Amino acid sequence: MAYKVKYAVYDRGVLMGQYYADEVAELIGIPQKRVFAYSASGARYQGRYTLEAVERYRSRVG
C-alpha cells in the first residue's frame, strides 16, 4: 500500500504551511524527488527552507 506524506515547510524557521511533495517542489523550486532527502537529513534547501515530514496518508493504488 502506498503512502502520501505531508511536509511542513519552514522559511528561515517560520512555518509557511503543510504540503504534499509535488506542492513543495513547485513552491520552493526543488526537484520533487529531493523533498524526502531534505526532510530526512534536516538540511536546509538553499540555506533557507527546512522540510519536516508531519503526516502520512494511506492511498489506494490501482
User: Which is it for the CA torsion 20, 26, 28, 31, positive or negative?
Assistant: positive
What pLDDT was estimated at residue 35?
Answer: 96
Digit-by-digit pLDDT tens for the chain (62 residues) are 577 899 999 999 999 999 999 999 999 999 999 999 999 999 999 999 999 999 877 766 55
Cβ neighbors of 25 (< 8 A, separation 6 or more) are 31, 32, 35
Residue for grid cell 532527502: 37
Whether this prediction's pTM lies above 0.85 is answered by no
Domains in the chain, CATH or no CATH each: 2-59 (1.10.10)
